[in-house]
Amino acid sequence: IRWRLMGLVTFFNVLFSFVATEYMRGMSNDALKQCLGVVLILIALYFLFGEGRMGKVFKSRPAQVTIGSISGVMGGMFAMPGPPLVLYCISTLEDKREYVTTLQAFSVVFNVFYTVFRFKAGFYSEDTWLWWVIGVGGAMIGSSLGARCFDVISNRTLKRIVYVMMIVSGMVAIL
């Protein structure tokens, strides 16, 4: 885990996720999905065609503040802080093992805060825990399958898969 890359990103993510969670209470679900879809597609296209030019830029403090803020807004509004973080990690970390472990560390830290923020905002219902258990099961299956593929996928292929999946996710959210 590359802890030194996480400080500013984490601070601004948590700050902006709190603000976004409070703000999104008044937005419709359809509006949120369409915003998310557009954001995912634009970010993925930018990185798909701008790959290789962002590593040094992302290591700067202003870029880390920006990534943390965007990720926080996406986490607070869409429960999906990952895309900016994925792009940040994939652009700054050359080794795919560092990429995966640092991204997982971000995920653990942020999900603790997001859970508290959403609980405080009243977003959990009686069914939440059932869906959480189902989601954990799906995550375990996906992690198991991903681990089997991880060693055979090159860094370049991994990046391309990430970008394409973000575009597909964006299109699904819009439709």
What's 60's DSSP letter?
A: S
Opening angle at CA 98, ends 92 and 103, nearest 5: 80
Alpha helices in 51-154 (DSSP H): 55-58, 61-78, 82-92, 96-121, 128-150
From 139, 175, 174, select the one nearest 36 (Cα to Cα): 174
The predicted pLDDT at position 88 comes to 83
Please report the pLDDT score of residue 141 as a whole number: 92
Angle at 112 between CA 147 and CA 30, to 5 degrees: 85
Question: How high is the pLDDT of residue 55?
Answer: 53
DSSP assignment, residue 93? -
Structure token digits, residue 157: 């292929």
SS3 state of residue 14: helix
CA distance 159 to 82: 14
Give mean pLDDT in consecutive 10-residue pieces for the chain, a chain of 175 residues: 85 87 73 77 72 62 87 80 81 83 87 83 81 87 84 80 81 78
| 164 alpha-carbon distance from chain centroid | 15
Half-sphere exposure in the Cβ direction for 103 (13 Å, CA) = 20
Find, among 91, 96, 111, 115, the residue nearest to 5 by Cα: 91
Residue 57: what pLDDT? 63
Q: Can you give the pTM of this predicted structure? A: 0.67
